[in-house]
Structure formats: structure tokens, C-alpha cells
């Protein structure tokens, strides 16, 4: 049976996913702080499960990192779970992020081309 999520477990899950997303994008806590307007210590506390965040802060993190809110609540992989289900969720997540990045690059490239002509 699946273990129920307590407030503390949800806070820890959000922190781990924030760290995962930030590292996937090769962004330091200091850089995320600068880009989001959130204090560096606050970001560190979120990642370490010491602080909870408001919906407004979640929105700032989503905007800054270019991700959807659900990505902060993706479950952790546990070794006793079927790997296929776990990796499907993360591959879908990665695919979404990659498609957004390609779209942004395409828009930037097309904008640069319009300026040249």
C-alpha cells in the first residue's frame, strides 16, 4: 500500500524536485535567487525542506525555471517500484521541458531572422 503524504513529506518532495529542476538547468541557488527575486537562504531552506512556500512563490519559481507547478510534486523513485512507471513520468517531464526549450530557441531564431531582413 502506498504511504500517505504528510505535510512534511510534501515539503521535502517539493524541495528535492526544486533542486532536481535547478540542477537539470545548470542553475546555481545564487543565480536562481537573482532571477526570481527570492533570497538565496530562502531557496536553500526550501530545498532542504525547512521552509514551505506560498502559491505566489511557487508561481515565481515556475516562471523563473520555465516549468509547470506539477513538476515540483513528482514522486521520488523507490527501488521497490517498477522502474518503467517511474521513468515514464520523468521522460514525459523531460520531453515537455525539451519541447519548451526548442520552442523558445525557435522563436528567438525567427526573431533574429526578422531583424536581419
DSSP 37-52: T--HHHHHHHHTTS--
Kindly state whether residues 3 and 59 are assigned to the same domain.
Answer: yes
pLDDT-derived band at 1, boundaries 50, 70, 90: very low
Kindly state whether residues 108 and 57 are assigned to the same domain.
Answer: no
Kindly state whether residues 71 and 37 are assigned to the same domain.
Answer: yes
pLDDT-derived band at 16, boundaries 50, 70, 90: very high
Cell of 107: 522563436
- Please choose, from the candidates 69, 97, 67, 59, the residue with its C-alpha nearest in 3D space to the C-alpha of residue 10: 69
> What does the pLDDT read at residue 85?
56
Kindly state whether residues 45 and 62 are assigned to the same domain.
Answer: yes
Kindly state whether residues 72 and 88 are assigned to the same domain.
Answer: no
Kindly state whether residues 93 and 45 are assigned to the same domain.
Answer: no
Kindly state whether residues 33 and 57 are assigned to the same domain.
Answer: yes
Q: Is 116's pLDDT higher than 90?
A: no
- Separation CA 38–CA 53 (nearest Å): 11
Instruction: Report the number of distinct structural domains present in the chain.
Output: 2
Kindly state whether residues 92 and 66 are assigned to the same domain.
Answer: no
Summarize pLDDT for 35-94 with one digit per residue, the tens. Answer: 999 999 999 999 999 999 999 999 999 999 999 998 898 887 555 555 555 566 566 666
Residue 19 maps to which CATH number? 1.10.260.40
**Domain residues for 89?**
78-117
Kindly state whether residues 56 and 9 are assigned to the same domain.
Answer: yes
Kindly state whether residues 3 and 48 are assigned to the same domain.
Answer: yes
> What does the pLDDT read at residue 47?
95
Kindly state whether residues 18 and 69 are assigned to the same domain.
Answer: yes
Amino acid at each position: 500500500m502506498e504511504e500517505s503524504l504528510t505535510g512534511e513529506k510534501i515539503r521535502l518532495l517539493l524541495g528535492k524536485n526544486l533542486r532536481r529542476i535547478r540542477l537539470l538547468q545548470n542553475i546555481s541557488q545564487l543565480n536562481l535567487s537573482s532571477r526570481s527575486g527570492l533570497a538565496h537562504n530562502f531557496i536553500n531552506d526550501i530545498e532542504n525542506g525547512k521552509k514551505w512556500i506560498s502559491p505566489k512563490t511557487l508561481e515565481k519559481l515556475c516562471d523563473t525555471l520555465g516549468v509547470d507547478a506539477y513538476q515540483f510534486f513528482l514522486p521520488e523513485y523507490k527501488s521497490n517500484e517498477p522502474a518503467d512507471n517511474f521513468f515514464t513520468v520523468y521522460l514525459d517531464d523531460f520531453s515537455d521541458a525539451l519541447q519548451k526549450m526548442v520552442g523558445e530557441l525557435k522563436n528567438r531564431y525567427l526573431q533574429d531572422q526578422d531583424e536581419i531582413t
